[in-house]
Amino acid sequence: MLKYMDKLAKNQKPEELPSLVLAYIGDAVYELAIRQFLVGQGFTKVNRLHREAVKYVRAGAQAKALFALEDKLSEEEMAVVRRGRNAKSGTPPRSADIVEYRHATALEALLGYLYLQGKQDRVREIVDLAIRAITKTGNN
């Protein structure tokens, strides 16, 4: 996997990638982080892991997480969030409205951007803040 990351770093900068590409990467980063968090919480049955993961990865939860951490983002991060939120990303899932879906896409774009920038500590910090915000709002 690392050789592919090196190739991206040499050929294209994350800030030059379309927002939806950043969100595509960020979705995978976030999903993996949530899975690791849940396994770390002691969940071991796959069906239960899936049900718990959905509480964190659904668009409404991601939108709430983004709202909770917006005041903790830098200007650069907010610019990525705005780009992600404004990207024309297609039809939202049945369980989300378009506003939630756009905000979820913005969070994923931010995570993808930071991940591709190599800012793993910041990715962990934002995921941790998102988990706390989602847990606090009763989605857990």
| Residue 8 Cα to chain centre, angstroms | 20
For range 25-30, the mean pLDDT = 97
Contact 56, 131 (CB under 8 A): yes
* Per-residue pLDDT tens digits for 87-136: 887 766 677 788 899 999 999 999 999 999 999 999 999 999 999 999 98
Q: Which pTM was predicted? A: 0.88
pLDDT at 69: 94
Could you give the CA distance from residue 103 to residue 86 in angstroms, rounded to a whole number? 9
CA distances from residue 3 to 7, 8, 68, 119 in whole angstroms, order as listed: 6, 9, 35, 17
pLDDT at 2: 54
Catalytic residue among 27, 71, 97, 121: 27
For range 42-68, the mean pLDDT = 94
Does residue 66 register a pLDDT over 90?
Answer: yes
pLDDT at 85: 92
| All domains in the chain, ordered by first residue | 18-136 (1.10.1520.10)
Residue 9 neighbours by CB distance under 10 Å: 13
The verdict on whether 27 is a catalytic residue reads yes
From the list 66, 63, 107, 65, the residue with the least C-alpha distance to 84 is: 107
DSSP letter, residue 91: P
pLDDT at 47: 94
Residues in the chain: 140
